[in-house]
Amino acid sequence: MMEYAGEIPGLLVALAVGLIIGFERGWQTQNEHGGAGSRRDADNDNDDAMAAMGIRTFALLGLLGGVAARLTGATSVWVLAAVLLGVAAMLVVGYLQTVRTTGDIGATTEVAALLTCALGAMAVLDMQLEAVIAAVGVAVLLGFKREIHGALQSLSRHELTASLQLLVIMLVVLPLLPNEAMGPWDSLNPRVIGWLVLLVAGIGFVGYFAVRILGDQVGLTLTAFLGGLTSSTALTLSFSRMSATDTRRQALLGAGIALACGTMAPRVLAEVAIVNRDLLMPLLPGMILLGIIPLVAMAVVLWRFKGGEVEHQPAMSNPLELKSALLITAALAVVFVMSNAAQEWFGDRGIYALAVLSGIADVDAITVALANQANDGLSDTVAARGILLASLTNTLVKAAIVLFVGGWSLARWASSILVLAVAAGATGWIWI
């Protein structure tokens, strides 16, 4: 008796798995037939029964999978296979009958039912946690049907292809890349570069879709922050051009540009935390000052001028388009080689010079490159100072862009805030 008592938790989990998925399917059925609690004609009293039957059927399917798995352990491995095949045959017959009757060719419920039986078997085969997590995932996936379909319909073709490229990079390209040092000074590790490309592009990817989804339905503050996650340069140019036709809001637009540039600080810290956590503490004071001053300035400007809705969404480039991903890869490869060459030829000063040059165009490549090289022997102090230098340089470049594109009237707001932030962030050099 005690020998079989150990199987009871597994069978209970198998039953719970069926109930989790069954509750979602039952609610869906009830909702499609008039909603919970609605009073209907006698001829339609069957609707609530259909919802209950859905819950019970899925619970029994989960338990059936668990029992089949238990019998498989006690008798033959073919028992579970026979049960799954029998359930599949039953579902196919029911599906064909539904298609003939209603013309509905969707097979979501049938697939969920077969999966429920398989998850019930997993629960008994010492994979209880995996079974519950999968059941919850299935229920969520089924429950968010409208939202998923709505998101797919709102995607443009290039956004869809970019999302597929993310999956290709994660699941196909990265596992195939060799994990060994090669090239001049053994600077290039394809696997490491692949992960860093995914990191940099992934942060921008999240920011792009945040702006894409929220768009002009949010205030200037959130738009500036999210725009800074994907491309502070793009947002700087967009707001600078906008100020030419919207002179009444130049203070708001200038503060928004400063905030977008200040968003670079938490982005850099996030990249460093993922690649090399040891550099996080040395960089914190300088990067916090670099990011906090634009945030405070934005708060003051909003309080003084009240309001600040964005009339249109700034143009953002999707960082996971093939061209963008290739550019990030090339930039990382060049920075890896050049940083090793600079260290070899000119010592620490060479790293600092490269950081300044890299920061003129982009701060992400030099950040992840130096953080990674600090894992391989580069001094933490040199790496941290190089990252800070690149960040300060990049911020000054944005201040110059505002002056040349937006003019002095915008620069006196945005550029003055950015220069003040650079001056404060430069004190972090002493801490490092």
Q: What pLDDT is attached to residue 196? A: 66
- Residue range 351-396, pLDDT digits in tens: 888 888 888 877 888 888 888 888 887 888 988 999 999 999 989 9
Q: What whole-number distance in Å separates Cα of residue 247 and Cα of residue 251?
A: 9
- Residue range 210-257, pLDDT digits in tens: 656 655 445 567 777 777 776 677 778 777 777 766 666 677 778 888
Q: Check residues 76 and 263 and name the one with the higher pLDDT.
A: 263
Q: What pLDDT is attached to residue 387? A: 92
Q: What is the 3-class SS of 144-167, one letter each residue?
A: CHHHHHHHHHHCCHHHHHHHHHHH
Domain range annotation of the chain: 2-150, 157-431
Mean pLDDT taken over the chain: 76
Q: What pLDDT is attached to residue 210? A: 62
Rg (CA), the chain: 29
The whole-number average pLDDT for the span 73-84 is: 78
| Closest by Cα among 192, 205, 196, 193 to 166 | 205
Let me know: does 181 contact 187? Beta carbons within 8 Å: yes
Q: Is the pLDDT of residue 326 over 50?
A: yes
- Residue range 25-59, pLDDT digits in tens: 777 666 555 554 443 333 333 344 334 447 888 88
Cα dihedral sign, 56-62-63-68: positive
Q: Is the pLDDT of residue 307 over 60?
A: no
Between CA 197 and CA 431, with CA 256 as vertex, the angle to 5 degrees is 65
Share of the chain above pLDDT 90, in %: 5
The whole-number average pLDDT for the span 188-217 is: 66
- Most confident segment among 252-256, 412-416, 417-421: 417-421
Tell me which of 160-169, 356-365, 400-409 is least confident: 160-169
Looking at residue 247, what DSSP letter applies? G
The whole-number average pLDDT for the span 115-123 is: 89
Reading the block at residue 330, the tokens are: 């090339």
Q: Is the pLDDT of residue 2 over 50?
A: no
- Long-range CB contacts (< 8 A, 24+ apart) of 186-192? 187/336, 187/337, 187/339, 187/340, 188/333, 188/336, 188/337, 192/372
Q: What pLDDT is attached to residue 11? A: 84
Q: What whole-number distance in Å separates Cα of residue 160 and Cα of residue 152?
A: 8
Q: Which amino acid makes up residue 401? A: I
- Most confident segment among 101-105, 133-137, 148-152, 166-170: 133-137
Q: What pLDDT is attached to residue 362? A: 77
